[in-house]
Amino acid sequence: MPLRIIFMGTPEFSVPTLAALAQAGHTIAAVYTQPPRPGGRRGLDLQKSPVHQAAELLGIPVLTPVNFKDAADRQVFRDFDADVAVVVAYGLLLPEEILSGTRLGCYNGHASLLPRWRGAAPIQRAIMAGDHETGMMVMKMDKGLDTGDVALTKVVAIGSETTAGELHDTLMLAGAGLMKDAMDKLDGGDLPLTPQAGHGVLYAAKISKAETRIDFGKTATEVHNHIRGLSPFPGAWFELEIGGKPERIKVLSSVVETAGGETGTALFDDLTIACGDGSVRLTRLQKAGGKALNAEDFRRGTPIAAGTRLA
C-alpha cells in the first residue's frame, strides 16, 4: 500500500528524490520548501525554489513557512495526516513537534557517510579534505544535527579530479534511488535502522566567504582539493592586477604538478603556480562577470607571464 508522504526540500539536489517518490506511486500529500527569494538579473523578481517549481508541475500543494514557530503552521503539518516526512536539503531546522508529526517520523537524505561530515556542506568538505569516498545515507531524524539512526547507505567514490559540482550530481541521483528504496522498505515494514558510530564525527560547516580565497602557501594537493571542492560554486579565487587594479579570478579546475618555486608565483607561462610544496597548473578560470574559459583561451585574453605574483 503506498505511503502518504510530506516532502520537504528546496534546491535542485532535492528534485530527483521528489520525482522518484511520485513515480513510485506514493501519495505526496504536500511539499514544503523555502519561500521564494529575490532573483533575476537585477534581483527584483521573486524566484520559486527548484522544488517549488517541480511540485507545481506535479500538481502537489506547496507550503513555504519561514519557520515552524507559529502553532498554526505546526497544526497544518499534522493535519495532512501523513505516514512519513521525507527531508532532502530543506534548509530549516525542524522542531520536535514536526519530527513527531507523522505516523512513522521523518527520514532525511544526507550526502555523506555519517557520522563523517554532519552539517551544511558535506559535499564540499569531503573533497576539500581529500576524502576518497563519500555517499548518500537515509537516516531517521532526531533532534540532533544529523545524529539519527541510519537506514540505507550508498557509497560513492571521489576521484582525484572530481569537483563539487560533479559529485553533487552523482549524489543527487544516487540519493533519489536510495530514498525510493527506503520508502518501499518502510512501506513493507522491513526498513532497518542502525545507530551511528560514536567515533569519527566531523562537522561540515557552511562555506564562508573568507575561506574561498586560495592560499598558495598550502601544499599543491591541498590547493588542488580546495579548488575542486569549491567548483563551480562559490568558486576558489585569487587576485590579479589588471589595468592597474586588482581583479578577482575564480579557478574552477587545476592539476597538481611537481615543480617548485616562490609561493604564489607563476613558474611558467602556462599558469603553473608555485605552492608551499609543489605547484598547481590552473586549467579553467573565470573573470568576474565573464564566462568560464579553459587555460589556453584565458591566457589568450589575459596572459600571466612566468614570474607574476598572484595575491
Element (H, E) at 62: strand 62-63
Whether residue 18 is annotated as binding a ligand: the answer is no
State the Cα angle at 157 between 256 and 180, rounded to 5°.
145
Note every long-range contact of 41-48, with CB atoms under 8 Å and residues 24 or more positions apart, other chains counting. Answer: none
Residues 101, 122: Cα–Cα separation, whole Å:
27
- Greatest pairwise CA separation for the chain in angstroms: 69
63 is in an annotated binding site: no
Angle between helices 15-23 and 50-58 (to 10 degrees): 20
Residue for grid cell 560547516: 205
The cell for 181 is 528504496
Pairing mode, strands 106-110 and 118-119: unpaired
Which of 111, 130, 113, 131 minimizes the C-alpha distance to 121?
111
Residue 178 assigned as binding residue: no
Q: How many CB atoms lie within 10 A of CB 240?
A: 18
The answer to whether the annotation marks 115 as part of a ligand binding site is: yes
Binding residues: 112-115
Q: Which residues are annotated as a binding site for (6S)-5,6,7,8-tetrahydrofolate?
A: 112-115
